[in-house]
Structure formats: structure tokens, C-alpha cells
Structure 1
Amino acid sequence: MLSALLKDTEAKTTVAIPMKLRKLGNAYCATILPICTDIRSYVTAPSKTTMASATLVQPSGEIWKKIRVELNEDVNTRDRDLEHMKEWLRKQPHLPDEWDEGRMMTFLRGCSFSLEKCKRKMDMYFTMRAACPEFFTNRDVKRPELVDLMSRAQGPPLPGLTPNGRRVTVCRGLDKNLDMNQLNDAFKVALMIGDVRLKEEIEGVGGDIYILDASIVSPSHLAKISPTAVKKFLICVQEAYPVKLKEVHVVNTSPVIEKIVNFVKPFLKEKIKNRIFIHSDINELYNYVPKEMLPEEYGGNGGSLSDINEAWMKKLEEYTEWFKAEESITANESLRPGKPTNYDELFGIDGSFRQLSID
């Protein structure tokens, strides 16, 4: 049905309208063209050519307009805000002098164009890149340990968007013997994808939805989870990246899942704790994420998750040299005004982190 609608819409926009225009003139264009545009704006699932790819479909039409409001983005003032952030960055002795405008705009959007929040996030982003070499160095998916991990687990973003413009990422393990000592590598790959999205989400999205498939999780996995690794990763997600986490859905659950969720909750912000949904029936997920955009493995029409994941691994491989060049782009604590960041305090046993100076 979706492909038929797209085909019909294409026909209207590329054939029917021009033929009518020759007969009816500009008045017809003014009436019909916005209608056709609105139809396309609500069709956010990927086409067949992008279904099993690493292409990130960007919002357009009415959804794009709605997201602009949600992100507090004013097209008349956003360039001024961007210049403010560029000037601020140049004045920070411990941070890079320059950074590309696209990623800075993504940070502004993720911070709802709050300049002070954007400064805190960007400072923490560069700080975490220095503080967590296990996540931010050796980012080459051809390395044996990452090749092995990717044969055991998957976690790609889906190409399409939900009707309200949110990006969906599906994470699942494939091997019940998945070694929890690979947790740092799993977090590394997740943040590699996050960095690619910083570059490629050029229009901004209405937030993120994560689907976590717990089908292979066992009590032995819980016993081997590293609290330090989890804390570091969640600081990255919540404080260092411009992520608007709207929903987390856990599917294919077992009794141990409640214990794992309770283990993680102390490291989560209160609002995120309230956005975790555990589903005993996959059909419950369809109330939140349209079935047609989900991968085939979850009853949807969005192509194979394995194929989407393979496409993302190829994309990450293409970014290998870029990742290598990015390794040196970090905070330099010896140059930070005032007291340098103490990593022991940053990753305190209670999972808290101290406020960074942004003035």
C-alpha cells in the first residue's frame, strides 16, 4: 500500500500536474501542488531502493515544519546562533579552534537552540572523547574484535522516520554466548554510528526511539555487565551527544530483564526512566512504531535488519580514515581554564558527573 501511494504521488507530481497546468494555469498549481507536497510529507518510510541501506531519510514537508517548532529552530536566527557557537569555540583554549558547521548545527538542534546547553554538551563531547579511549580510538570495523562482535550483534538505525519524524534504532544479539567483555566494543560501534549521524542528519529529527531485543539475554550476562562501562556510555548518550531520547522499547523479554533495567536506572535521568517500555507481546510495539517501517524480523515491511546492518557496516568501513583523523579532536585538560576535569570524579561510583565550566 505504501509503495502504491508513493507511486501514485510521484505520478501526480511529475505527470498529472504539468498536464493540468498547461490547461488551467497557475491557479491550479497554487491549489494542487501544496496538497501533493503534504501527501509526500507524511510518507516517511524508505523506498525500496533505500529500505536495506544505510541511507538516513530526512524529514520534509509538514513533518519538517513540525520538527522545526519542536526543536525551537527559527530559520531567521539559526545562522546567528551558529556564529555565536563558532565564536565561543574559538575562545575555549582546551577545545578545538574550529569544527564543521553541520555537526554544530546538529548540536544546536539537539539542545533546542539553548546556547548554554549547547556549550555544555559540546564541552562534554570533546571531554568524553579524551576520557574514553576505549570508545573513541581504533574505530575500524575491519579490526578482528569488531568483525567478531558484528557477527554476534546488530544495532543499526532504520532508514525511515516515524510519522512524527523520529529515528528508530533496533539492537539485538544473535549469539547466546555473546561475551559481555565485548561491551566496550559494542558501545564503541554505537558511538561510531552516532558520529556518522552527527554528520548526516542534515535536517534534524524529532527524537530517537530505541528498540532493544532481549531474546538472548540470560542471568549470566547480568553478572558480567561492567557498571563503569555502562556509566561511561550513558554519560555519552545523555550528556555528550545531542540525543533527544523519546522512547526505549524492550521486546522478547525474560524475567532477568527487569533486573537489568533496575541495574541501569540509577544512571538514567528521571525523564528517561519514564520512557522505558517493556513489551511481552511484539504487537504492543506497533502502538508506538508503525509496523510497516519495522524490519521483517519484527513483523514489518521495512526490509531485513541483517541487510540494513550489513549496509551500515559498509558505511562505517567507508568512514575509516575519517574516524582515524577524528581521534585527535578532543579536549585538552591541561589547557582548561580553572580546574582540569578529574576523570575519577567524572565517573564517580554513584554514576554522577561534575558540572563542567563553560564560561
Structure 2
Amino acid sequence: MATLLIHPDSEMQERIRSELKENVTTRESDLQIIKEWLAKEPHLPDTWDDERIMTFLRGCKFSLEKCKRKLDMYFTMRNALPEFFSNRNIKRPELQEICKYINIPPLPGLTPEGRRVIVMRGLDKDQPTPIVSDAMKIVLMIGDIRLAAEQIGVAGDVYILDASVATPTHFAKFTPSVVKKFLVCVQEAYPVKLKEVHVVNVSPLVDTIVNFVKPFIKEKIRNRIHIHSDMESLHKFIPKDVLPEEYGGTAGKLQVFHDQWMKTLEEYQPWFDEQENIKADESKRPGKPKTQDDLFGMEGSFRQLVID
């Protein structure tokens, strides 16, 4: 994993810990509290990976109650969204096909602020649009590996979205329902904060896409979306030594990073198999079970996300 993710040096670790309110003398007792809570919740798994629970604690700035809510939502999403969380095997033909025509890797290096950069781009505009939920499944598989791999923690995520091959035909497959479910899942069930979104290689379609997504997100996140007309503009936000060569950087080739991550997904297959049935059991939830309407709003409505 060291070749995939470069961890912060000691000085940056201190800055990240300060931002995440991590106290090295109390974090193990906080972890134990969450583990005991999990064991007592009848609808949640009795136990889970210590490393991943610690990542949730960090992402919640060590607020125990917020961590409980976030973990509950995470396992609830595993149950509510089988299109994202079942049959997670990167060797399945439909997932292999997607991996040929998109790059979606987190980059090895961190920004000076201690943030992880993730690039998403298509490689061929003439390729038919894959099943969108399968592409989102791969993104979440990488996210689940990162829950354990970010051993020190990061000060948030930065996304680079490359729109160079986006076409109206591709965009038409992104229905409000699937986009809503993905955004609720990522932002309410995963612990890493979205700090910036950078859109590069823009076309007139980009405005349509951004306006499509805006109803799902609060103003705080809208203000973190940056549209770039050239790479120099991007470099004002992300240093060249973090960026791959395709974006004017010096960190290496994006395709190489992508291939490394796909290989890692294969290596994690036993873990994904084990996790298949580790999810919330709504029949055992104290009180009222969570429904699709509770989680995502009525079909066709735009439930605004609460992002902090």
C-alpha cells in the first residue's frame, strides 16, 4: 500500500491531527467506546475493523455521537443500496470493461494542506456509457480500501473531474435517482470531508452537469466547485509534484496509478467477499426501520444534503 498512498511526514501529521482533533492519549479509549456501542446495537455488525473505525473517528473529529451516526448510516447504506454494495468483484466482466475506459485513482501524494487528490476521467468519448451504478460501485470499493489504508488520516479529499470525453449521451445515463443515492451515500455515510472539486478540460456540457448536481448539495459545497479553463489555473490549487503528468504535474502517469489501484482491488477480493453480508438489519433496528424515503426522499424530489 505504501506505493499507492504516501503518508504525511511527522510535521504534517501534527497539523492533520490538530485539524481532526485527534488526541493520541485518548483515541484508543474512543475506539473502544465505539466498538462497545457497535456490539450493543442489534441492527449493526457486532464487530468491525479497528483501522476503519478509527478513520470514522478521525473523519468525525472524534465526536463519538457523530461517529455513531455516520457508522450507522454507512452500514444502512450497505443494506439500502445493493446496486453499490453487492457483488463487489473487480474481475466481473462488466466491471473490467469499465476499468478499461475510465481512470479513477486517488493520487499517491498529499497537498500541502494534507488532502488526498482523486482524479476521475474517461478515456474514449466513443465508448458507450457503462451502467452508472457499476462505475459508482468501483469508486466506493476504492473508498472502502482507503478507510483502512489512510493509516494516519487526511485533512479531506480533493476531486479533479476531467470532462474531456463527456458527451450528452453519457450524461443522459446519470439519472437524478442514482446521482442522489450516490451523493447521499458518499457524503453522509463516509467519513472523509470533500474540500474541493476541480473540473478541467471543460466544454459547454459542463455547465449543464454542474447545474444538474447543484440541487443535491448545499451552498457550502457549491462554493468549492472550481471550473478551470487551463492547467495553470489548476496549479494554483494543487502543486505540480502531486499531479500526474497528464495534468502538467511531475508525480507520474495517471494510467499507472489507476492500474495499481485495480490490482489492489483484486488483492482485496477476500475482504470484499467477507463484507457481503456485513450490513444493517432493518428488522432488528430499535424503533422504526429506515426506508428508502427516509434516506433519499420521495422519488423525484431533491433532498438537500447536510454536509459539514
Do they superpose with TM above 0.5? yes
Question: CA offsets per residue over residues 46-101 of structure 1, 9 Å max, x none?
Answer: xxx97xx5x21111211100001100111122122111111111111000011121
Question: CA offsets per residue over residues 29-49 of structure 1, 9 Å max, x none?
Answer: xxxxxxxxxxxxxxxxxxxx9
Matches within 5 A, 1:334-349: 334-348=283-297, 349=300
TM-score normalized by the length of structure 1: 0.82
Query: Which amino acid is the alignment partner of residue 303 of structure 2?
Result: S
Q: Tell me, yes or no, if the aligned pair for 2:184 and 2:305 is still in contact at 8 Å.
A: no
Q: Which position in structure 2 is the counterpart of 1:293?
A: 242
Aligned match for 1:352, one of 285, 303, 308: 303
Q: Distance in 2 between matches of 1:105 and 1:269?
A: 27
TM-score normalized by the length of structure 2: 0.95
Q: Which has the larger radius of gyration?
A: 1
Structure 2 unpaired stretches of 5+: none
Q: Tell me, yes or no, if the aligned pair for 1:346 and 1:353 is still in contact at 8 Å.
A: no
- Identify if the C-alpha distance between structure 1 residues 110 and 164 changes in structure 2 by more than 3 Å, giving closer, same or farther: same
Offset at residue 354 of structure 1 (A):
10
Q: Which runs of 4+ in 1 moved over 6 A?
A: none
Offset at residue 321 of structure 1 (A):
1.5
Offset at residue 268 of structure 1 (A):
1.5
Give the alignment's Cα RMSD to 1 decimal: 1.7
Q: Distance in 1 between matches of 2:303 and 2:26?
A: 35
Q: Which position in structure 1 is the counterpart of 2:24?
A: 75
Q: Distance in 1 between matches of 2:96 and 2:261?
A: 13
Offset at residue 180 of structure 1 (A):
3.5
Q: Distance in 1 between matches of 2:262 and 2:193?
A: 24
Q: Distance in 1 between matches of 2:305 and 2:120?
A: 30
Q: Tell me, yes or no, if the aligned pair for 1:215 and 1:254 is still in contact at 8 Å.
A: yes
Query: Which amino acid is the alignment partner of residue 122 of structure 1?
Result: L
Q: Tell me, yes or no, if the aligned pair for 2:202 and 2:227 is still in contact at 8 Å.
A: yes
* Count, aligned residues: 304
Aligned match for 2:117, one of 153, 159, 168: 168
- Identify if the C-alpha distance between structure 1 residues 223 and 342 changes in structure 2 by more than 3 Å, giving closer, same or farther: same
Query: Which amino acid is the alignment partner of residue 102 of structure 2?
Result: A
Offset at residue 222 of structure 1 (A):
2.7
Q: Distance in 2 between matches of 1:158 and 1:321?
A: 24
Matches within 5 A, 1:241-320: 241-320=190-269
Offset at residue 223 of structure 1 (A):
2.6
Q: Identity of aligned pairs, percent?
A: 60
